Chains A and B, each alone.
Chain A
Amino acid sequence: MLKVKTPKTAKARREVEKRAPKLVENRKKTLILQGTKTSNVLNAVLTEIHHLKKESSIRYTRKNENIRPFESGGETSLEFFSLKTDCSLFVFGSHAKKRPHNLVIGRTYDHHIYDLVEVGVENFKTMESFSYEKKLAPRVGSKPFFAFIGEGFQNVEELKHLKEVLLDLFRGEVVENLNLAGVDRVYVCTAVSSTRVFFTHCALRLKKSGTVVPRMELVEVGPSMDFVVRRHRLPNDGLRKEAMKTVTEQPKKKVKNVSGDVIQGKIGKIYIPDQQVGDMALSHKAKGLKRERREAKANNEANEHGSKKKKADSE
């Protein structure tokens, strides 16, 4: 049996349209959640990642019993959460004896797991532990720079994968135009060994250099930590090929209220709503304008008329 499900209200329809697959996609959202057991370190890591991605992440704080992303059957509820929250990136924290301070970063494609990287967190330093001029603090939602240092990011499979995932996780909005005044943060990742990556978040201080290009100075603002790569799972080739499809040109947006021809040139239509004189705020409160007074006056007049009429009758 099939049933046609359509949104009943316009708002619901807009919501559904927002989540629908598009030619040019919106920004990826991140779901941050944890397993049954976490450590203090992991809790801090998860909240700080959430803070870093404040405007595009969802933090689940309850324990999740049956999420084991690497095992078959353990991804079901994760995929459901991905569908429910419309998130295509997830960061899953768990802490066990075998894998302490474990962080699984993964992506989904069509709400099915696309790839996974598992890293252990070591030497974690919180944002609070760094002291710097508050003026330098990066603003929420600013577009970050990335610096990947080390040959591991090109030679070692795991690190190559981790680089791509980290880039996807932290890159923020994909923009066409960038305001150069708003450049204020950088993520520095260094491959220390073939399994270890030192990750830190820095603010940018732009200093005058006498040329167009300012001199960049990094100020560590945290969080900083070491990622020790544990397990990872790459997507299979078919899925990767499907997911890597790109659109070369963006669809043209319909231009509204602009018209023109050879003689008149470009003409724009502007809508100006009616001027609401009655609702205008007055600079001072005049007593005569009070409603009670106006009504009282009107009543008085009416009464006078009445009394006059009565008088006329009596005469």
Chain B
Amino acid sequence: MEVEMEAQKYQVDLGNLMALDPHHPFPSSLSNRKSLQVMEVEMKAQKYQVDLGNLMALDPHHPFPSSLSNSCKGFLAIQNPCERLHIYFLREELVKQCLQKGSELVQEIADALFNLPSTEDPDGPLVRLPPLTTRLPREKHVRYSFFSLCDSAFLPKPKPPTKWEMFAQKKGIKNRKKDKVLYDEQTGTWKRRHGYDRVNDDKDVPIIEAKMTDEPGEDPFVKRQAEKRKRVEKQEKSRLQNLKQAAKVGALPSHVQLAATALPITGTQSAPKKVSKDELENVAGMAATATASGGKFDKKLPGEKPAKHVGKYRKFLPVAEGTGMGSLEKQQTDKVLNKLISKHSHEILNVDKAVTMFNVKREKRKNQQGKSSSTSSKLKPQKKPLKNSSKKGSFKKGSSKKGSFKKGQSK
């Protein structure tokens, strides 16, 4: 069947091309007649689809070689050696056919390719390829380049004007060229306008004249520095804002990326603060103390500092009397005693506060008694045997003492 089909194709070919058999070993014998060849190419181009830009040819009319498709099944799986051999030969046949057909197609491409106008080059003839006809997808989205003003569909997206540019346009402010170098009156030399060693550098200002508006106790130098820092920060902020606007339109320069530093935790507005070095060190120090020795005998990591002592050291004054340090202890106790014994010692006491406290306490006690009278009738008989026990007694004593103390205070 397949042979029949091939024979058919031959005939058709012969009919179409008027002379050429594609499987003829010497197709060149005919190609001397140029007009014939051109016709033949045209005919073939109809038969095949050639994309010269990709050097690709497709034969869409070639049917599946159905008898050979068996040969593709993995012949290793077949046990029968005879069958294996058969399939092996079928496979050989298929490959041979493919190569033959392939060379036909390649010849087709070459016909078109070698007939293109070429320029001589020391390495060989150079040919300019026609544009691709098979369209393949791009790798990345179209970037609007600022240098290509060729295609109206791909005009560059204009960068949105910055806030300053808008303001300048409204006010009619235009850029003027400024000199790079200026005369510095402070030092009497010519200096750059911006950058290192510039005119009016903060370092070069030895004296700032006082003004009427100056506040006393304020360092004008520090103030000057702070103002400068503020201006720089503001500029950075507005720069970021302008970049964000540009990113929205998609007109950001390709080397600039706007990256989220840290996303805010859901439910909060601000992003989590980055932990500073000091804070990390503190945490590390705290963790280091979680050993039996409180981190005292631990091996330190390279660069790790000894843990800081957080609490206060308790100091004891010398008890032995003497001069200087020796007398400090006496002075301390004297101070306390004097406060207590002095004529105006009652002034230490806040009488009003004490009275209110006493009143509040008494009311509380009353309430408790009222409650207990209603509810604790059941508890009372249980309490009675306990009363005799020494523990209860001591407790009571304590409580009574407390009460008396409070009363004493309230006096």
Contact A212 B56 (CB under 8 A): no
CA distance A237 to B272 in the complex (A): 41
A210 and B28: CB pair below 8 A? Answer: yes
Q: Of B175-183, B254-262, B307-315, which stretch is located at the interface?
A: B254-262
B99, B127, B139, B255: the one contacting A202 at CB < 8 Å is B99
Find the B residue at minimum CB distance from A204. Answer: B106
Q: Is the CB of B56 within 8 A of A218?
A: no
B142 and A245: CB pair below 8 A?
yes
Contact of A88 among B31, B139, B154 (CB under 8 A): B139
Q: How far is the CA of A256 from the CA of B28 in the complex (A)?
A: 48
User: Which of B120-168 touch A at CB < 8 Å?
Assistant: 121, 123-129, 132, 134-145, 147-148, 150-151, 154
Residues of chain A lying within 8 A (CB to CB) of residue B144:
23
User: Residue on A with the closest CB to B134?
Assistant: A167
The stretch among A60-68, A178-186, A296-304 that forms the contact with chain B is A178-186
How far in angstroms is the closest Cβ of chain B from A197? 10
Q: Is the Cβ of B139 less than 8 Å from the Cβ of A218? A: no
Residues of A within 8 A of B147 (CB): 251-252, 254
A3 B260 Cβ-Cβ under 8 A? yes
A244 in complex: contacting residue of B95, B127, B138, B255, CB < 8 Å: B138
Q: How far is the CB of B149 from chain A (nearest CB, A)?
A: 8
Q: A96 interface residue, CB < 8 Å from B?
A: no
Cross-chain contact B143 with A20 (CB below 8 angstroms): yes
Known: A146-B55, A148-B57. A224 touches B95 (CB 8 A): yes
Please tell me which one of the listed residues A25, A148, A163, A210 contacts residue B140 in the complex, with CB atoms under 8 A apart: A25
Residues of A near B148 (CB, < 8 A) are 23, 247, 249-252
List the one stretch of B108-116, B209-217, B320-328 in contact with chain A.
B108-116
Q: Is A164 a contact partner of B121 (Cβ separation < 8 A)?
A: no
CA distance A247 to B150 in the complex (A): 9
In the bound complex, residues from chain B placing their C-beta under 8 Å from that of A1 are: 260-262, 264, 271
Selected contact of A153 from candidates B58, B99, B254, B259, CB within 8 Å: B58
Question: Which segment of A31-39, A168-176, A264-272, A287-295 sits at the interface?
Answer: A168-176
CB contacts (< 8 Å) of A243 on chain B: these are 137-138
Say how far B47's CB is from chain A's closest CB, in angstroms: 12
A13 at the interface (CB under 8 A from B): yes
- How far is A110 from B139 in the complex, measured between Cα atoms in Å? 6
**Distance to closest chain B CB from A241 (angstroms):** 10
**A contact residues around B110 at 8 Å (CB):** 183, 213-214, 216
B134 proximity list for chain A (CB < 8 A): 164, 167
Quick check: B98 and A200 within 8 Å, CB to CB? yes
CB of A198 closer than 8 Å to a CB of B = yes
Whether the pair B258, A196 counts as a contact (CB closer than 8 A) is no
Kindly list chain A residues whose C-beta atoms are within 8 Å of the C-beta of B95.
198, 200, 220, 224
The answer to whether A167 touches B136, judged by C-beta atoms less than 8 angstroms apart, is yes
| C-alpha gap A186/B62 in the complex (Å) | 19
- Give residues 320-352 of B contacting A (CB, 8 Å): none
Residue of B nearest to A207 (CB): B28
- Which residues in chain B, 66-116, are within 8 Å of chain A measured between CB atoms? 66, 68-69, 72, 74, 91, 94-95, 98-99, 101-103, 105-107, 109-111, 113-115
Q: In the complex where A5-B256, A145-B55, A213-B111 touch, is A154 in contact with B60 (Cβ < 8 A)? A: yes
Q: How far is the CB of A139 from chain B (nearest CB, A)?
A: 12
Question: Given A16-B255, A174-B132, A211–B57 Cβ distance below 8 Å?
Answer: no
Least Cβ distance of B77 to chain A in Å?
10
Closest Cβ of chain A to B57, distance in Å, is 6
Please state if B55 and A150 are interface contacts (CB–CB under 8 Å): no
Question: Is A51 an interface residue, CB under 8 A from the partner?
Answer: no
Contacts of B125 in A (CB 8 A): 179-181
A252 to B9 CA separation, bound complex (whole angstroms): 49
C-alpha gap A177/B145 in the complex (Å): 24
Interface string of A4-27 (1 = CB under 8 A from B): 111100000100110011110100
| Whole-angstrom CA separation of A198 from B92 in the bound complex | 12
Does any Cβ of A come within 8 Å of B231's Cβ? no
Closest to A125 in B: B95
Given contacts A180-B113, A251-B148, contact A145 B56 (CB under 8 A): yes
The CA of A5 and the CA of B257, in the complex, are separated in Å by 5
Interface string of A137-168 (1 = CB under 8 A from B): 00000011111111111110000000110011
- B54 contacts partner chain A, Cβ-Cβ < 8 Å: yes
Identify A193's interface contact among B64, B109, B257, B262, CB under 8 A: B64
Q: Do the beta carbons of A109 and B127 come within 8 Å of each other?
A: no
Report B-chain residues with C-beta under 8 Å of the C-beta of A6: 255-257
0/1 per residue, B227-268, Cβ < 8 Å to A?
A: 000000000000110011000000000111111111010000
Chain A 232-258, CB-CB to B under 8 Å as 1, else 0, gives 000100001011111111111010000
The answer to whether A114 has its CB under 8 Å from any CB of chain B is: yes
In-complex Cβ contact of B72 among A123, A149, A181, A216 (8 A): A123
Chain A residues with CB under 8 Å of B27's CB are 209, 215
- A23 & B57 in contact (Cβ 8 Å cutoff): no
Give chain A nearest CB distance to B241 CB in angstroms. Answer: 10
CA distance A213 to B136 in the complex (A): 29
Q: Which residues of A sit under 8 angstroms from B102, Cβ to Cβ?
A: 147, 149, 186, 188, 190, 202, 218
A240 to B94, CA, bound (A): 36
Are the C-beta atoms of B259 and A3 separated by less than 8 Å?
Answer: yes
A143, A178, A194, A212 interface centre (most CB from chain B within 10 Å): A178
Residue contact A13 to B142, C-beta cutoff 8 Å: no
CA distance A23 to B136 in the complex (A): 15
Judge whether A191 is part of the interface by a CB distance below 8 angstroms. Answer: yes
Per the bound structure, the CA–CA distance linking A226 and B154 in Å amounts to: 42
Contact partner of B141 among A123, A171, A212, A242, CB < 8 A? A242
Mask: chain A, 53-95; 1 = CB below 8 Å from B; 0 = not: 0000000000000000000000000000000000010000000
A110–B141 CB distance below 8 A? yes
* Residue B65, interface by CB 8 Å: yes
Given contacts A5-B256, A212-B115, 20 further A-B contacts (CB under 8 A): A1-B261, A23-B142, A23-B154, A108-B139, A146-B56, A147-B105, A149-B58, A151-B62, A171-B56, A177-B128, A179-B125, A179-B126, A193-B72, A196-B72, A200-B95, A211-B37, A213-B111, A224-B95, A244-B138, A254-B147
Q: 14 A–B contact pairs at CB < 8 A?
A: A23-B143, A23-B145, A88-B139, A123-B72, A148-B56, A164-B136, A179-B124, A182-B124, A186-B102, A215-B27, A218-B106, A224-B95, A240-B137, A251-B148
